[in-house]
Structure 1
Amino acid sequence: MNSDDLILFAQVANSGSISRAAMVLGADQSTISRRIGLLEAELGVRLFHRSGRGVTPTERGQQLLEYAAASAAMLVEAARAMRDSAEQGPARLCIAAQPTIARLLFGRLGHALKERYPLTQVRFVEGLASQILGQLGDGAIDVAILYLPEHHGALQYDALLTEEIHLVTPADYPLEGDTIPVRDLGEIALILPSTHHGLRVLVETLAARYGFSANIALECDGSISITKRLVLERCGCTVLPSAAVVEEVAAGRLKTYRLVQPSIRREVAIVWPKNRVTPDGLWAVTQIIRQRAAALVREGAWPDTVLHGEGAAADSV
Structure 2
Amino acid sequence: MTSEDLLMFLSVATSGNFSRAAIEVGLSQSALSRKISTLEAELNIRLFYRSGRGVVLTEPGHRLVKYATEVKELLEHATADLSSPEHQGPSSIVLAAQPTIAKILFGSIGKALKQEYPGIKMRFKEGLGGYIREWIANGEIDAAIVYLPENHASLGADVILREQLYFVAPPEFGPIGKGFPVERLASVPLVLPAHPHGLRVLAESLTARFSRSVNLSMECDASVYITKQLVAENCGCTILPLVSVQEEMRKGTLQAVPLINPEIIRDVAIISARNRPPIPSQRQVLETVRQQIVHLVKCGAWAGATLV
TM-score of the two chains, using structure 2 as the length reference: 0.72
In structure 1, the partner of 2:5 is: 5
Deviation (angstroms), 1:252: 3.1
Does the 8 Å CA contact 1:165/1:265 hold for their aligned counterparts? yes
Seen in structure 2, the aligned counterparts of structure 1 residues 47 and 151 have a Cα distance that, compared at 3 Å, is farther
Seen in structure 2, the aligned counterparts of structure 1 residues 41 and 183 have a Cα distance that, compared at 3 Å, is farther
- Please state whether the residue corresponding to 1:14 is helix, strand or coil: helix
Seen in structure 2, the aligned counterparts of structure 1 residues 119 and 17 have a Cα distance that, compared at 3 Å, is closer
Deviation (angstroms), 1:107: 4.5
Q: Counterpart amino acid of 1:49?
A: Y
Q: Counterpart amino acid of 1:278?
A: I
In structure 1, the partner of 2:60 is: 60
Structure 1 residues 1-317: aligned runs within 5 Å: 1-29=1-29, 31-84=31-84, 86=86, 95-108=95-108, 124-135=124-135, 141=141, 144-152=144-152, 155=155, 159-173=159-173, 177-180=177-180, 191-194=191-194, 196-202=196-202, 212-213=210-211, 215-218=213-216, 220-229=220-229, 231-232=231-232, 237-260=237-260, 263-273=263-273, 275=276, 278=279, 283=284, 287=288, 289-290=289-290, 293-294=293-294, 296-307=296-307, 311=308
Q: Deviations over 1:96-155 (max 9, x none)?
A: 432222323344556666777888776544332333444455565565433234444565
Deviation (angstroms), 1:262: 5.5
Seen in structure 2, the aligned counterparts of structure 1 residues 5 and 263 have a Cα distance that, compared at 3 Å, is farther
Q: Deviations over 1:176-202 (max 9, x none)?
A: 531245566566665544554333455
- Please state whether the residue corresponding to 1:216 is helix, strand or coil: coil
Does the 8 Å CA contact 1:191/1:216 hold for their aligned counterparts? no
Distance in 1 (alpha carbons) for counterparts of 2:94 and 2:153: 22
- Please state whether the residue corresponding to 1:165 is helix, strand or coil: strand
Which runs of no fewer than 5 residues in structure 1 stay unpaired? 312-317
Distance in 1 (alpha carbons) for counterparts of 2:206 and 2:40: 74
Deviation (angstroms), 1:74: 1.2
Deviation (angstroms), 1:241: 0.8
What RMSD, in angstroms, separates the aligned Cα atoms of the two structures? 4.3
- Please state whether the residue corresponding to 1:64 is helix, strand or coil: helix
Seen in structure 2, the aligned counterparts of structure 1 residues 132 and 138 have a Cα distance that, compared at 3 Å, is same
Does the 8 Å CA contact 2:148/2:267 hold for their aligned counterparts? yes
Which runs of no fewer than 5 residues in structure 2 stay unpaired? none
Distance in 1 (alpha carbons) for counterparts of 2:207 and 2:8: 70
Residue range with higher mean Cα deviation, 106-115 or 20-29: 106-115
In structure 2, the partner of 1:314 is: none
- Please state whether the residue corresponding to 2:215 is helix, strand or coil: strand
Seen in structure 2, the aligned counterparts of structure 1 residues 279 and 23 have a Cα distance that, compared at 3 Å, is closer
Does the 8 Å CA contact 1:188/1:215 hold for their aligned counterparts? no
Q: Deviations over 1:281-304 (max 9, x none)?
A: 9945862x5565455434433211
Aligned length: 305
Seen in structure 2, the aligned counterparts of structure 1 residues 263 and 34 have a Cα distance that, compared at 3 Å, is farther
Residue range with higher mean Cα deviation, 177-186 or 64-73: 177-186
Seen in structure 2, the aligned counterparts of structure 1 residues 27 and 103 have a Cα distance that, compared at 3 Å, is same
Deviation (angstroms), 1:166: 1.9
TM-score of the two chains, using structure 1 as the length reference: 0.70
Deviation (angstroms), 1:234: 5.7
Q: Counterpart amino acid of 1:217?
A: N
Q: Deviations over 1:221-251 (max 9, x none)?
A: 4433444455456665433211112233333
Deviation (angstroms), 1:73: 0.9
